[in-house]
Amino acid sequence: MFTGLSAFPITPLAHDAVHEASFIRLVERLSEAKVDSITALGSTGSYAYLSSDERSRVAHLAVQHAGGTPVIVGIGALRTSQVLTHAENAERAGASALLLAPMTYQPLTDDDVFELFRTVTAHSSLPVVVYHNPGTTHFTFSTELYGRIAELPRIASIKIPGVPADPQQARARIEDIRAVIPQHVTIGVSGDATAAAGLAAGCDAWYSVIGGTLPALAMQLTRAAQERRFQDALTESERLAPLWKLFAEFGGSIRVVAAIAEHLGLAPAACLPLPIQGLTKDQRHRVAGVIDALSIHG
């Protein structure tokens, strides 16, 4: 569950409510593609914008339609009590693991974040993925903090930001992390543009944005890396460079993957939670052009 491809689907909305039919279809596609795990309610899944009831419902739908694929459920929230409620709801829904990011309004200290993870691991029986996403949470984990948290019971994996482009620097970064965490804790790369480089550098998993909407594409890259065909994985990533460029140009991946899902008929129009406007008409046209040029179909 904590190796290979973990696919992060969007949670499509329509008229300010979760569009359940679209979400179910996305989850079923992931199961049919035989991804290694499905992570519902990650940042790509807009968890921070959903109510507790909405998140509980999405967790249930993900598990019900995953076809036996392990489901990891995001539980991040501003208050620890809210995090624990989300953890309990995820466990009741049948989740296989939890994904936890330290959400912030007031800046958090390392001790604040450590205590959050200590409390969650003390109250839940499910394994936990440490979610390091400084671009959205505005909290940066130190390598030392990775080590402190990884010693807690039930910590199973650490989702790290993208690795350096230089292969030697990337390997050195992974080795630095491995030196401070227990052997059983896996390392998963995020930042889709550097996924191939991360897997080649020694990461165990790819926590993938694009995999949640285009699983076959992500599986091809992941399996190449798992078979140690690293050059094939890197070549595939280079082929997808126009897509990664759009991620960077349009302020992150969520607006682009939402536009892709809408273009392919996998989600209703304007499927992101307001106030996120999504892409403009011209930007959507560029996304569609890249998808069509790459011969990607729904």
Query: pLDDT by residue (tens digit) across 244-282?
Result: 999 999 988 999 999 999 999 999 999 999 999 999 999
Please state, rounded to an integer, the average pLDDT across all residues of the chain. 96
Whole-model pTM over 0.85: yes
Environment class of residue 41 by beta-carbon count within 10 Å: exposed (0-12), middle (13-18) or buried (19+)?
A: buried
Domains and CATH numbers, the chain: 4-227 (3.20.20.70)
Radius of gyration for the alpha carbons in the chain, expressed in angstroms and rounded: 18
Environment class of residue 237 by beta-carbon count within 10 Å: exposed (0-12), middle (13-18) or buried (19+)?
A: buried
Q: Compute the C-alpha angle 93/84/119, nearest 5°.
A: 130
Nearest residue to 82 (alpha-carbon basis) of 111, 130, 110, 123: 123
Cα–Cα distance, 98 to 121 (Å, whole number): 10
Q: Are 24 and 38 in contact (CB under 8 A)?
A: no
pLDDT tens-digit series, residues 70-125: 999 999 999 999 999 999 999 999 999 999 999 999 999 999 999 999 999 999 99
Q: Are 156 and 127 in contact (CB under 8 A)?
A: yes
